[in-house]
Amino acid sequence: MFNRIENPFLRNLTEWIFVIALAFILALVTRAFLFRVTRVTGYSMVPTLNHGDVLILNRFTYLFNDPSVGDIVAFPFPEDPSDYFIKRIVAAPGDVVDFIDGVFYVNGTPLDDAFSHIDVRSMVTVNFPVTVEEGRYFVLGDNRNNSQDSRYSTVSNVYGRDMLGRVFVRVWPFSSFGGV
């Protein structure tokens, strides 16, 4: 393809420009459809994730599958879409979420919730029970005492189409490197 260029300098320059452009296009496609890197800001997912952790989101999964209960996902912060929230999906479309005496229930079953043993009634701004609408998901931070999530009308139930991806690898700190 580049052999038609007789000048060796121009041929090498053209090859380098082609390789750099191809790498740039591949990086854009990878970021748009496959993976995204993000950093945890805040303490809403402690003890699972910590402030400053660097994560890789799998965007590819949600091109072919719906999000699942238990997935840790990232989505734009409703009041500032340039910032991301990272939360755990606890209920899917059609599920009924209730909050009674400090315990979350999904479809009448207590949420298996090893992260929260606190009374969060005063921190709720939605009326329970909540039926999760079609195409939406009920999300909670693992650190219930320090999380703005679906309990708040500013976040509410999150559209699946708004999810940037599923958290699947922590890359920093390196001592905690691995699947999430």
Give the Cα separation of 74 and 167 in Å (integer). Answer: 7
Is 116 annotated as catalytic?
no
Q: How many residues appear in the chain?
A: 180
* 87 given a catalytic annotation: yes
- The residue from 87, 116, 147, 150 that is catalytic is 87
Residue 70 CA to residue 87 CA, distance in Å, equals 10
Measured at the CA of 135, the angle between CA 129 and CA 141, to 5 degrees, comes to 60
Given the residues 44, 116, 147, 150, the one annotated as active site: 44
Rounded (10°) CA dihedral 40, 41, 46, 47: 40
State the catalytic residues. 44, 87
